[in-house]
Structure 1
Amino acid sequence: MSAIPPEAPLDDEEFVTRARAGDLEAYELLVARHTASAHRTAVLLGAGADADAEDVIQEAFVKGYRKLSRYRGESSFRAWLLAIVANETRNLHRSRNRRDGLVLRVAVANPASEIAEDVAVGTVLARERRARLVQALRLLPVKDREVIVCRFFLDLSEDETVTMLGWPRGTVKSRTSRALAKLRGLLDREEVGRG
């Protein structure tokens, strides 16, 4: 296939068209373009840190390539790909829940197994932290929640957030700062209340 000139930035649709025609470089460029948001999505949806999130996004990119002919362009490629990431994260949760159940049963059957107990406790604590973050986010006023989700959950740039929310740049900057402070305060208060 022909090389993609660096001075001609292409949109996702052009990369998809080229990838469908067998241009692996075009798909590699799609992967490079969307790896950060795919990783963030996997982590935020509960894949956990590094290794599990990497496994999820790798599997999602492979499935995305295999299913490229099914992409109809009704939504952005990014949204389509992140839906695959979400599905892979759910698959990870199902297998993790089965594994955790087995670990808990082994720990009950063999109380001397400290390793099984450590894994089970770590899993429970990670889920509790995620649940606290989501709960605190839900307590924020709508506009604070919107800016946090745009900037950190959807990984939108400041410019994209300005466009999406229709706010001036200064408002996005100040609201992001204040919303993060409120979110930290909610999480700190809950931590003190639990202690």
Structure 2
Amino acid sequence: MSRGQARADEFVAYVDARRAYLRRVAYLVCGDWHAAEDLVQTALIKLYAAWPRIHTDGAEDAYVRRIIVRAHLDEKRRPWRRERIGLDGVDVAVPEALSLEDTDALVTALEGLPQRQRATVVLRYWCGLSVEETADDLGCTTGTVKSQTARAIAGLRAALSTDDVTTTERRPR
């Protein structure tokens, strides 16, 4: 087996094992399944180019998460560079069915957060990264991660408590 074939086989094995995880991370970061697929594809292309260096360090997941977050933030900073395909309101992506009401409320609350706060919360609590690892993935200081996390949690609490109050008020007695 050639060196190039061994590299490709290792990469394919990694992608097979981690694609669903990476797709969920991308969805939680951007809130759209189609955009999440694009982010994962972009991340995997960049990972393949860096595979020999990254694979020997064992830092594949961290590298891909960093690419996903940075690619998403780059796209949000430059919306004029993206072309919208389809007709407004006609080609709306249908989210996958969620089994729990709490999960739905949490995802809705996450979508209400600013992009940087959402990325921070996803990396810290869904991916289980430390403050330092999150700062490294986002390319910022640990203080920024802490403040963004605090603001995001306050925003999530406000959004989720508002939803509970609204739901309680609408119920017939």
Tell me the TM-score normalized by structure 1.
Answer: 0.43
Q: Larger relative contact order (C-alpha < 8 A, sep ≥ 6)?
A: 2
Tell me the TM-score normalized by structure 2.
Answer: 0.48
